[in-house]
Amino acid sequence: MKKNSILKLVIIILILLFFILLLFLLTLLLYASSDNHEMKQGTITINNDINSRNTNLDNLNIVNNKNISSKNTTNENMTNYTSNRNMSNENIIDENASREKKSREKSVENIKYPIESEYITSIDTLLVNLKSKGMKFSSIEDELGEGIELENGYYSYLDGTVKIKKSRNNIVLNIIFSKDYKEQIFSSFENTDTLEDIYFFNSDNCYGSVEEGFLGYRTDKLYYFIYEDEISVYGYSYIKNTDFELALAKYIEDNNLEKFVNKTIHEFTEYENYDCDFSDEHAYINFSSYGLEFKINDNNSKGIILYNNYCFSSKTKQYVIDGLITFNNSENSIEKAEKERRMGKLEIRD
């Protein structure tokens, strides 16, 4: 009886241990299942986090790529715009240069050299001598007697009825006769005739008009500018300037301004308004008798100006076309000198 009770007790204890073990196993399973769920949730959260960050990075990359693309596009557009603008400016410059060259070509093909008068003939002793002796002052010096030097660079003779401007080597650049001059100057009219009367018989003037208050004529060796109160006369040269053009070619080649100027004034001795500073690379000289003027600054050959009374060669025409020197086709250097003289005279008079 006692053995049976002990056996039953053992069995009960075993059963209880079994249930306890089963309960423990169930508890372990539930705990493991809970941990797996949390791990999955954590993994999902981490994955979502990573995905979110990746998405943000992708979006950021897209934005950056868009910005880079936009900047590249903008830079390309700016580069293209700048390039097109430069090309446009270059085209404009080329077009302007081509237009200017054509204009220069046209100007040297149509030089406005003044017509020669068929009617005007001087018979005055002074002018006859000057024409025959190359405008040398010595040819009329005995006729004039002692002169008085004036402030404007002229000399006055014969009680102020004759005024003369001379070059450094005593060549007469300009001679002016007042209306009180006693000897008759022209064959076809009197010194005291009105401009209307002079023009009526001598209508082939190349400058001025009755309305402008003067008449300008060119003859074979002289220019005449006739006013109501005076007659102004200039000698001129219209022959090939071979030596000058050789010096000009050399100057364009080597830019030796001093050598060029010295050769020019040796060739053209009838000049005025000399102002040269070779260290400063400028030269201002007026050779109005030859249709030439120097207004050279910074040793630039474009300051060499030829007027329409210069005797052109094919070489000097080409220099003009190439833009190496300047051509003023609208003006005659002698007419220009006379206008400046007359304006200065009127200013002094006022």
Say how far apart CA 57 and CA 51 lie, in whole Å: 10
- Burial string for 227-239 (b: 16+ CB within 10 Å, else e) reads beebbbbbbbbee
Q: Measured between alpha carbons, how far is 228 from 191 in angstroms, rounded to an integer? A: 9
DSSP 54-105: HHHHHHHHHHHHHHHHHHHHHHHHHHHHHHHHHHHHHHHHHHHHHHHHHHHH
Q: For residue 225, how many other CB atoms are within 10 A of its CB?
A: 24
- Rounded CA gap, 36 and 42, in Å? 10
pLDDT tens digit sequence for 278-322: 999 999 999 999 999 999 999 999 999 999 999 999 999 999 999
Instruction: Look at the block and give the residue holding tokens 């950056």.
Output: 64
pLDDT in the model for residue 319: 97
Distance CA 84, CA 200 (A): 63
Please give the model's pTM, rounded to 2 decimal places.
0.72
- DSSP of 238-273, one letter per residue? -S--HHHHHHHHHHHHH--HHHHHHHHHHH----EE
Structure tokens at 133: 């002796």
**φ, ψ dihedrals at 226, nearest 5°:** -105, 125
Mean pLDDT of the region 267-288: 95
Find the mean pLDDT for residues 219-244. Answer: 96
Instruction: Strands of the chain (E only): list them.
Output: 148-149, 155-157, 162-166, 172-178, 207-209, 214-218, 222-226, 230-235, 272-277, 282-287, 292-296, 304-307, 326-328
Per-residue pLDDT of 224-233, as tens digits, reads 999 999 999 9
**43 has a pLDDT exceeding 70:** no
* Amino acid symbol at 314: S
Structure tokens at 1: 């009886």
Tally of residues, the chain: 350
Whether 329 has a pLDDT exceeding 80, the answer reads yes
Q: State the pLDDT at residue 346.
A: 53
User: 62 to each of 77, 119, 274, how far by Cα in Å?
Assistant: 22, 94, 76
Q: What is the mean pLDDT of residues 159-186?
A: 95
pLDDT at 81: 65
Domain ranges of the chain: 52-110, 125-235, 242-338
Greatest Cα-to-Cα distance within the chain, rounded to the nearest angstrom: 192
Q: What are 56-74's pLDDT values in tens digits?
A: 545 545 445 555 555 566 6
Per-residue confidence band for 23, with pLDDT thresholds at 50, 70 and 90: confident
pLDDT of 223 = 98
Check the CA dihedral 185-186-189-194 and report its sign.
Answer: negative
Residue 33 CB burial class (10 angstroms; 0-12, 13-18, ≥19): exposed
Average pLDDT over residues 210-228: 96
> How far apart are the C-alpha atoms of 174 and 183, rounded to whole Å?
18
Contact criterion met (CB below 8 Å) for 304 and 296: yes
Q: Yes or no: say if 189 and 197 are a contact pair by the CB < 8 Å rule.
A: yes
Query: For the segment 138-168, what is each residue's pLDDT rounded down to a tens digit?
Result: 999 999 999 999 988 999 999 999 999 999 8
Q: How confident is the model at residue 20 (pLDDT cuts 50, 70, 90)?
A: confident
Check: CB of residue 230 under 8 Å from CB of residue 178: yes
pLDDT tens sequence across 107-122: 989 999 999 999 999 9
- pLDDT at position 58 is 52
Separation between Cα atoms, residue 312 and residue 244, nearest integer Å:
12
Rounded Cα distance, 205 and 211, in Å:
13
Taking residues 234-242, report their average pLDDT.
94
Mean pLDDT across the stretch 176-180?
96
Residue 74, pLDDT score? 60
